[in-house]
Amino acid sequence: MPDRWLRLFDQVARTVRPNDLVSVTVGCDRGPDGLLAGEGECGAFLPSDGGLRLVWRGATVHVTASGDRRFVHVRQSAQELLTRMADLRGPGLQGLPGPVLVGGVAFRPDAQRDAAWAAFGDGSFTLPRWVWGQADGRSFVRLTLVAGELHDPNEARALALEAAQIGQHADLETNPYACAHQDADADSTRWGETVHVALEAMTAGQLDKVVLAREATVRLDRPLDPDGVVQRLAAVERDATVFAFQRQGKTFLGATPELLVRRTGRQVTSEALAGTAADAAPQSTLQGDKVEREHGWVREAVREALGPLCDTLHIDEQPTVRELHGLRHLRSRVQGTLAADVHVLDLVERLHPTPATCGTPRQVALAFLKAHEGFDRGWYAGAVGWFDAAGDGCFVVALRCGLVEADRVRLFAGAGLVRGSDAQAEWAETRWKLQPMLRALGGTA
């Protein structure tokens, strides 16, 4: 493999200006399965449905934005960056996705940002230096850098050897970590009080639904290497999208069941995932008025967001039951054909946040959470994923997740409140939703 890289590097040196950005891609034998760990930034985006799988290390360029126009600013900055980049590939790699930016946006842009989330911000995307990926059954390694770095033959050979090692990435350590779950229902009283306030707002006709979230803290007996957690999540949560973003010594990671939106050319895919019951609950639990109202609001929100942009939009007439993480969810799949080229970030902006993570009416629910939830969600319940120069991409809702800081992990879970909600039952739902991350950390609820 090093010789293949060196031939492409020689082509770069002869055909690309030293200050230009260039992406060099070579095929490899296997796809990604964990973080390309090392000093600095790295991450993973591993969907379960056959979409583009990515693992990355290092950053060639960062694109960040804040405030209400964060989507517009990211799209404009990224478009200029990606369209002027040279894209060189080894034989047989045409048709693979081109260079992508990976990252996400916070649940809301106007939060008083917790210091723990400072490295993530309102919206932040990375053009990775190294990418190890898989698409359509083909695996590849990609290096993106300033072309002038390849003019030194010794530097070029070192990079070629590093690329070969990435392509032969070995399985990572998967031993469980001992941890103490320091949740102990300490905040259940405050939770009950907040639920009561929410129900009063619903009785007064101010709210139809609000999704209240909480934090739980896990302390480990030693600092955590996120590699093992990512691999355990990918091995166990096979129907979820596993994601991880490591920045400035902190790692946001999880295994989410919820697709926000995927765009491939003019084809757009989304889903309504709302209405939850434990596996042990009677089947009738997912047939009651409360659950059906929750699900219906999300269906209509997706229809209102995507319908005006589509020539055709199909939403399942009846939701199906999706079993995941010890819970059952109502899911309605959404498929559409866009009437024009609409960037995936524009689709994310129209959809986010849905009633499944925020509530309805949206602005009233956001104001309620800002006043009563009591912590900064950061990227929890935000949108994470990737996009390319064509405006294609895939974003998921960042759920079933946690923020790792050395030997401390902050976990997040929420529950949708509607008229008739019971505070204890909703608290129990959040405990079920914490289970995937607790198992990956070696703990219990």
Pair of tokens at residue 89: 């590939």
Q: Which of 258, 271, 349, 373 is catalytic?
A: 258
Side chain identity at 85, as an amino acid letter?
A: M
Closest CA to 389 of 83, 146, 183, 28: 83
290 is a catalytic site residue: no
Q: How do the domains of the chain map onto residue ranges?
A: 2-167, 179-244+251-441
Backbone φ, ψ for residue 442 (5° rounding): 85, 15
Q: From CA 125, how far away is CA 115, in angstroms rounded?
A: 19
End-to-end CA gap in the chain: 46
pLDDT, one tens digit per residue, over 4-20 is 899 999 999 889 999 99
Task: Tell me the DSSP string of 374-435.
Answer: -S--TTTTSEEEEEETTS-EEEEE--SEEEEETTEEEEEEEEEEETT--HHHHHHHHHHHHH
Q: From CA 242, how far away is CA 400, in angstroms rounded?
A: 10
Angle at alpha carbon of residue 60, lines to 86 and 129, rounded to 5°: 80
pTM over 0.85: yes
3-state secondary structure of 191: helix
CATH homologous superfamily of 179-244+251-441 equals Anthranilate synthase (3.60.120.10)
The burial class, CB within 10 Å (0-12 / 13-18 / 19+), for 66 is middle
Give the pLDDT of the chain (445 residues) as one tens digit per residue: 688 899 999 999 889 999 999 999 999 888 887 787 766 899 999 998 889 999 999 999 999 999 999 999 999 999 999 988 999 998 888 888 999 999 999 999 977 788 889 999 999 999 999 999 999 889 999 999 999 999 889 999 999 998 888 866 555 455 555 565 555 456 788 999 999 999 999 999 999 999 999 999 888 877 777 888 898 898 888 889 999 999 998 999 999 999 999 999 999 999 999 877 766 555 545 666 777 888 899 999 999 999 999 999 999 999 998 887 677 888 999 999 999 999 999 999 999 999 999 999 999 999 999 999 999 999 999 999 999 999 999 999 999 999 998 888 999 999 999 998 999 999 998 988 998 898 888 765 4
Closest CA to 240 of 320, 322, 125: 322
pLDDT at site 432 = 87
Q: Which of 41, 209, 349, 429 is catalytic?
A: 209
pLDDT, one tens digit per residue, over 35-63 is 877 668 999 999 988 899 999 999 999 99
pLDDT at site 287 = 61
pLDDT at site 275 = 78
209 is a catalytic site residue: yes
Side chain identity at 329, as an amino acid letter?
A: H
